[in-house]
Amino acid sequence: MSEEEKRFVMGHELTHHAKNHAWKKMGVVWMLSVASAVCKKLVEPDSISIKKDSILRRYFLNGWDVSGMATISFWGLLQGQYCQAQEREADQGAVLDAGAHPVDGKKILHRLYSPDTSDWPLYPRLIHLMSLPFVYVLSLPILKQHASHLISLDDRTSDVIALTDQWNQKYKQNKTASEPALDVDECLI
C-alpha cells in the first residue's frame, strides 16, 4: 500500500472519528427502533386496512433480513441511506481534509472491494469466497439502497473522482511548478 493510499484510508477513518459518526449512527438506530416500535403499535392487526400478511405491512414493520448485511424494510432504507451518507462524507474528508490524491483513493477502494486473496490462509479465503455472491446480490439497485455500509464500487469511486477539481484547487498551491495538478482524464483508468 502506497503512502497516498494509507493517507486515504487513515483520512477516511479519522473523518469518521472527527465527525462522531459512530455516536450519530447509534442515535439514528435508536430513534429508528423507537419509531419502528411506535409504528408496530399503531399498525397492530386489524387496526388499519392493510392485509395482515401483505408485503407493504412487512416492509413497514419487520422487513426481510438479507444474510445479516441488510434489512429490506422502510427502517433499513432510512438507516442505510444515513450510513451511506457518512461513508461518502468520510471519503470526502480523506481527499479534501487529509489531502489524499483522488486517484489513490480510487486504487485503494478497488483493492478493498476486490482483494487479492492468493496469499491469505485457507479459512479467511473460504469466507471471502462464500461472501462474494452476497456482495453481488446486494449491489442490485433496490437492495443496495438498504445496505448500511455497502455502496457499490462504481458509485464510491465516481464520488471520489468527482472531488478532483476541489482537490486541485486546495492543494495546487502546495505543488512545485514541475508537478502538474491532477488531470481529470488521468482519473479515468
Contact (CB, 8 A) for 170 and 96: yes
The predicted-structure confidence for 89-134, as pLDDT tens digits, reads as follows: 999 999 999 889 999 999 998 888 778 888 888 888 888 787 777 6
Predicted local confidence at residue 184, as pLDDT: 46
Task: Specify the pLDDT at position 20.
Answer: 92
Tell me the CA distances in angstroms from 24 to 17, 31, 52, 73, 189, one per residue in order: 11, 11, 34, 21, 35
Which position has the grid cell 485457507? 122
User: 411506535: which residue's cell?
Assistant: 38
Burial-class residue 2 by CB neighbours within 10 Å (0-12, 13-18, 19+).
exposed
Each residue's pLDDT, cut to its tens digit, for the chain (189 residues) gives 889 999 999 999 999 999 999 999 899 888 888 887 777 777 665 555 555 666 666 666 666 665 555 567 777 778 888 888 898 999 999 999 988 999 999 999 888 877 888 888 888 888 878 777 766 666 666 666 666 666 777 888 888 899 888 888 888 766 554 444 545 444 444
pLDDT of residue 64: 64
Identify the bridge partners of residue 65 per DSSP, sorted by sequence position. Answer: 71
The pLDDT value given to residue 95: 92
Q: Which three cell numbers stand for residue 151?
A: 455502496
Angle at 43 between CA 40 and CA 49, to 5 degrees: 155
Q: Helices marked H in the chain — which ranges?
A: 3-18, 21-42, 55-60, 74-92, 102-113, 122-138, 141-144, 153-161, 164-171, 184-187
Domain ranges of the chain: 3-172
Whole-number pLDDT of residue 61: 66
